[in-house]
């Protein structure tokens, strides 16, 4: 039997895939127990009764590059073209808690996202945008508290109170230790900060999604669908435990938990993955954590199409990939969706490419019939079987994490990272050997690629940001900033919530880097141990 034949009979998670499924594959399947109705426990069929039959998912576009002013222009273009939610990409220094004039930031300012150093930058970023009408998602983790507080302060300058703000901060630092690396503090202190955010938002920004627990980045690093949902839900359990240990009631914070998953081109398995994840989370929250509020048991999630599956070769073919990935997310019941631009494997997307990505979602919503009924695959022999198989495989992986003492202990042992790296290596071998077809890469190549002019970031951005920081520090009242930072450090040394003094510091003109540095002095930095 050839390798190609073997691959054709396996899912991305390495589970068996049969050519034909029949009713025998669902022998003993209790639909009332395993499916229920849409909007009801265990939410396999969707978290809301009507899903898209009333209105479509939130169409987000992930954008942010260069300066706040440039990104603001892109946001206005997206809103004008029908975007209902904005997703902000931050540059690497911002993600790591460094200001643009820090030595470690040199050469990275504005490269992979927008540089936000202070409240002044946040005011520019959202200038002229109605923050009480748009939903904003911010892909930020270790310094999520700072960016959220700057956003709240910017909204207050527009006269909009926190109670009217809607959106999400990613705020999922555990997956940073597993798959990305933009962590700052040790895990215990990071969990403390996340619990502080839960408490703060419950009181100050009640409609805000306080965390987007992410499988996306683990999937981009090579996790299979089963690994993606297993390690994501294992991390989520750790966050719930941390909040409970801090004295919060599960039904006070759990309704604002949200998730973030990838959508691959393997459409059937992706649909099954989303359905299995909902069922798993509902049971975890009800049976393990005793939640009473159905909203605490709903796995609400944002989806982004798979950037790792996009190719620099024949980039226009990515339009087809993204359309299929987006369709899988919709059929799987996502609450919001970002469709990647076809040119993202080459550089930051051009305005035209970003518009085409948004049009892809609009075609799915308004030119197909997939929004006319809830959970179209319910009862499908193949999808129900795959949902069951993925649930079983994910449960085994979650138990493996639990057996090591939970997500943090498993992270410290390198368990999740090692498992994901094994999967990524297997995929790379399959592509190299031709067992996994990637159109334009190992099959159907062109002798010569057509020319493409990517969007480029002006290197002068770094100097501009440094000058803005110099002016900020010159014009602010340094004594007020110092006093606010000292108060925040005292809260960090004890058990008080650090977000209220942190808000005062940012309002006085403290930068994101200064806030992160002040907490580094108290909590230290995380240095991973060599686990191999």
- Supply φ then ψ for residue 261, to 5 degrees: -125, 165
Q: Are residues 225 and 348 in the same domain?
A: yes
pLDDT at position 66 is: 76
The CATH number covering residue 77 comes to: 3.20.20.240
pLDDT at position 308 is: 95
pLDDT at position 112 is: 84
Q: Are residues 349 and 497 in the same domain?
A: no
pLDDT one-digit tens code per residue, 66-86? 789 988 998 898 888 887 788
Q: How many domains does the chain have?
A: 2
pLDDT at position 1 is: 31
- Supply φ then ψ for residue 502, to 5 degrees: -65, -40
Boundary residue ending a domain (374, 405, 433): 433
Residue 156 within a domain: yes
CA distances from 401 to 171, 395, 415 (A): 21, 10, 8
Sign of the alpha-carbon dihedral angle for 263, 268, 271, 275: negative
Q: How far apart are CA 191 and CA 241, in angstroms?
A: 10
Q: How far apart are CA 230 and CA 472, in angstroms?
A: 45
Boundary residue ending a domain (399, 414, 433): 433
Q: Are residues 510 and 427 in the same domain?
A: no
Q: Are residues 426 and 506 in the same domain?
A: no
Residue 464 within a domain: no
3-state SS of 66-115 is ECHHHHHHHHHHHHHCCCCEEEEEECHHHHCCCCCCCHHHCCCCCCCCEC
- Supply φ then ψ for residue 504, to 5 degrees: -60, -40
Q: Are residues 264 and 120 in the same domain?
A: yes
Q: How far apart are CA 221 and CA 179, in angstroms?
A: 6
Range of the domain at 78: 43-433
pLDDT at position 346 is: 86
For the chain, which ranges sit under pLDDT 70? 1-8, 62-65, 454-457, 529-532
pLDDT one-digit tens code per residue, 381-419? 999 999 999 999 999 999 999 999 999 999 999 999 999
Q: How far apart are CA 328 and CA 261, in angstroms?
A: 12
Find residue 211's DSSP bridge partners.
257
Burial class (CB in 10 A: 0-12, 13-18, 19+), 431: middle
Residue 518 within a domain: yes
- Using CA atoms in the order 72, 76, 81, 87, what is the torsion angle rounded to 10 degrees? 40
Q: Are residues 362 and 494 in the same domain?
A: no
SS3 for 476?
A: coil
Q: Are residues 259 and 361 in the same domain?
A: yes
CA distances from 364 to 272, 321, 367, 473 (A): 19, 14, 6, 48
Residues whose CB is less than 8 angstroms from the CB of residue 200 and which lie 6 or more positions away in sequence, other chains included = 145, 497, 499, 500
Boundary residue ending a domain (433, 459, 492): 433
H or E element that contains 259:
strand 257-263
pLDDT at position 528 is: 78
Q: How far apart are CA 494 and CA 73, in angstroms?
A: 42
pLDDT at position 531 is: 45
3-state SS of 225-249 is HHHHHHHHHHHHHHHHHHHHHCCCC
Q: Are residues 423 and 494 in the same domain?
A: no
pLDDT one-digit tens code per residue, 446-477? 988 877 776 666 778 999 999 999 999 999 99
Sign of the alpha-carbon dihedral angle for 342, 347, 349, 353: negative
Residue 494 within a domain: yes
Residue 4 within a domain: no
Q: Are residues 392 and 519 in the same domain?
A: no
Q: Are residues 350 and 490 in the same domain?
A: no
Q: Which residue in 102, 93, 151 sits closest to 127, CA to CA?
A: 151
Contact 215, 223 (CB under 8 A): yes
Contact 513, 102 (CB under 8 A): yes
CA distances from 47 to 266, 295, 389, 457 (A): 23, 9, 21, 40
Q: Are residues 406 and 510 in the same domain?
A: no
pLDDT at position 455 is: 64
Q: Are residues 412 and 491 in the same domain?
A: no
pLDDT one-digit tens code per residue, 425-441? 999 999 999 999 999 99
């Amino acid at each position: 039997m050839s390798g190609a034949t073997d691959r054709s009979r396996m899912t991305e998670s390495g589970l068996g895939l049969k050519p034909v499924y029949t009713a025998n594959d669902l022998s003993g399947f209790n639909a009332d127990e395993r499916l229920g109705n849409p909007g009801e426990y265990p939410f396999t069929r969707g978290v809301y009764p009507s899903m898209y039959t009333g209105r479509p998912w939130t169409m987000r576009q992930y954008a942010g590059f260069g300066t706040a002013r440039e990104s603001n222009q892109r946001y206005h273009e997206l809103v004008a073209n029908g975007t209902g939610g904005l997703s902000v990409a931050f540059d690497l220094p911002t993600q790591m808690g460094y200001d643009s004039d820090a030595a470690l930031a040199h050469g990275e300012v504005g490269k992979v996202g927008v540089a936000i150093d202070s409240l002044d930058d946040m005011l520019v970023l959202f200038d002229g945008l109605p923050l009480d009408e748009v939903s904003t998602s911010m892909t930020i983790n270790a310094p999520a508290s700072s960016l959220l507080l700057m956003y709240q302060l910017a909204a207050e300058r527009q006269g909009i109170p926190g109670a009217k703000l809607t959106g999400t901060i990613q705020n999922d630092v555990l997956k940073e230790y597993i798959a990305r690396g933009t962590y700052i503090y040790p895990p215990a202190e990071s969990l403390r900060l996340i619990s502080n955010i839960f408490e703060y938002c419950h009181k100050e920004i009640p409609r805000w999604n306080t965390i987007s627990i992410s499988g996306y980045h683990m999937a981009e690093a090579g996790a299979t669908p089963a690994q993606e949902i297993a390690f994501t839900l294992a991390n989520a359990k750790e966050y719930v435990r941390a909040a409970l240990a801090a004295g919060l009631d599960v039904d006070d914070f759990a309704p604002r938990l949200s998730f973030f998953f990838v959508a691959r081109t393997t459409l059937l398995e992706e649909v099954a993955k989303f359905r299995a994840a909902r069922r798993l989370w509902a049971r975890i929250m009800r049976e393990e954590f005793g939640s009473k509020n159905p909203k605490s048991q709903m796995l609400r999630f944002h989806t982004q199409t798979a950037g790792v599956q996009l190719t620099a070769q024949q980039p226009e073919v990515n339009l087809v990939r993204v359309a299929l990935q987006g369709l899988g997310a919709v059929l799987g019941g996502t609450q919001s969706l970002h469709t990647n631009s076809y040119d993202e494997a080459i550089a930051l997307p051009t305005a035209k490419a970003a518009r085409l990505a948004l049009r892809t979602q609009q075609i799915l919503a308004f030119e197909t019939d997939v929004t006319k009924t809830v959970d179209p695959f319910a009862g499908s022999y193949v999808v129900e079987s795959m949902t069951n198989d993925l649930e079983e495989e994910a449960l085994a992986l979650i138990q493996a994490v639990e057996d090591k003492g939970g997500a943090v202990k498993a992270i410290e042992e390198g368990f999740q990272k090692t498992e994901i790296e094994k999967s990524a290596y297997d995929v790379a071998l399959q592509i190299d050997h031709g067992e996994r077809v990637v159109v334009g890469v190992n099959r159907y190549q062109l002798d010569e690629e057509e020319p493409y002019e990517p969007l480029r970031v002006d290197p002068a951005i770094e100097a501009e940001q440094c000058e803005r920081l110099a002016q900020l520090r010159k014009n602010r009242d340094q004594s007020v900033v110092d006093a606010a930072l000292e108060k925040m450090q005292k809260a960090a040394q004890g058990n008080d919530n650090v977000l209220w003094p942190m808000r005062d510091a940012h309002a006085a003109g403290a930068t994101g880097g200064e806030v992160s540095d002040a907490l580094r002095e108290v909590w230290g930095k995380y240095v991973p141990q060599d686990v191999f």
